[in-house]
């Protein structure tokens, strides 16, 4: 599962969504996520799922990558589904057993929350992270937060740190997988025993992982220093970001999708 994590990875399918200006994508997806959080009715949820599906088709993300992204989220979605079924007691009662009550309203809310979590992950991880390189993400964040430079905020350094963090997530995942396999070959057991024993077992993974992380950080610092990196002052860009007509069209389409979700939500109320 660690090797299949897609967070921080870039999947180049040369789709129109990949070519869209990263600043447009970040702003539009924030608006789109706000619209998803406001969904509380089945019709609006169906429209949100349809809009997300269209984006997946346009992005040409392979099904294998989508499956790898959703697999770690399924347990969380299932937990939220079960929690809502047993905690909501409004609506028509469908089943009772001692203090356990399952209602139609509870089932509807449980499905709504579980599907919303899945759509949020698809929108942020698959449709934003996989279609934007860490370098473009850094440039976009630096451009969006540029007004904060007036207040002496180190915008370039903050964007660089976020870009490096995203870049090293897949690397650390691979390192964790290698360390766990090496420890298992030495007799380590992470699947049996009490919870306390399992936690103690993972210490044999965390310590080498921390050592490896510090080693990567030192190598990166030396490489940046060797290339005379001195922050954002006076730096130029090889490929400066430019908003094209196609980017404006993409922004309008995403706004229309978010608007359709909100309009359907307000009509359903």
All structural domains of the chain with their residue ranges? 16-268
* Statement: the pTM of the whole predicted model exceeds 0.75: no
pLDDT of residue 185: 83
pLDDT of residue 6: 58
Return the DSSP state at 41: S
- The pLDDT tens digits of the residues spanning 94-108 come to 777 777 777 877 888
Residues 256 and 31 sit within 8 Å (Cβ to Cβ):
no
Low-confidence stretches of the chain (pLDDT < 70) are: 1-9, 126, 193, 232-234, 269
- The pLDDT tens digits of the residues spanning 179-203 come to 888 888 877 777 776 777 777 777 8
End-to-end CA distance of the chain: 41
- Map tokens 């993972």 to a residue: 202
pLDDT of residue 212: 86
Angle CA 229–131–48, to nearest 5: 135
pLDDT of residue 7: 58
| Token code pair at residue 211 | 């050592």
- Map tokens 């860009």 to a residue: 237
Return the DSSP state at 40: -
pLDDT of residue 250: 84
Q: Map 127-178 to HEC letters.
A: HHHCCCCHHHHHHHHHHHCHHHHHHCCCHHHHHHHHHHHHHHHHHHHHHHHH
- Count the neighbouring beta carbons within 10 Å of the beta carbon of residue 246: 13
């Amino acid at each position: 599962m660690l090797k299949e994590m897609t967070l921080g990875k870039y999947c180049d399918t040369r789709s129109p969504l990949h070519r869209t200006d990263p600043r447009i994508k970040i702003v539009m997806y924030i608006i789109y996520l706000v619209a998803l959080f406001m969904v509380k009715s089945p019709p609006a949820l169906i429209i949100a799922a349809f809009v997300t599906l269209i984006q997946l088709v346009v992005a040409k993300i392979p099904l294998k990558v989508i499956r790898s992204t959703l697999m770690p989220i399924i347990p969380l979605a299932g937990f939220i589904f079960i929690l809502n079924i047993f905690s909501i007691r409004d609506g028509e009662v469908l089943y009772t057993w001692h203090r356990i009550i399952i209602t139609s309203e509870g089932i509807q809310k449980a499905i709504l929350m579980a599907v919303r979590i899945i759509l949020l992950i698809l929108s942020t991880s698959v449709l934003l992270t996989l279609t934007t390189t860490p370098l473009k993400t850094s440039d976009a964040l630096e451009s969006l937060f540029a007004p904060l430079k007036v207040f002496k905020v180190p915008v370039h350094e903050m964007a660089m740190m976020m870009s490096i963090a995203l870049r090293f997530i897949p690397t650390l995942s691979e390192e964790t997988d290698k360390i766990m396999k090496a420890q298992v070959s030495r007799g380590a057991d992470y699947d049996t025993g009490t919870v306390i024993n399992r936690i103690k077992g993972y210490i044999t993974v965390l310590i080498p992982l921390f050592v490896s992380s510090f080693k990567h950080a030192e190598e990166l610092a030396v490489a940046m220093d060797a290339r005379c990196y001195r922050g954002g002052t006076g730096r130029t860009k090889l490929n400066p970001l430019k908003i094209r007509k196609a980017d404006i069209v993409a922004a309008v389409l995403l706004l229309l999708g978010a608007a359709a979700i909100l309009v359907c939500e307000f009509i359903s109320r």
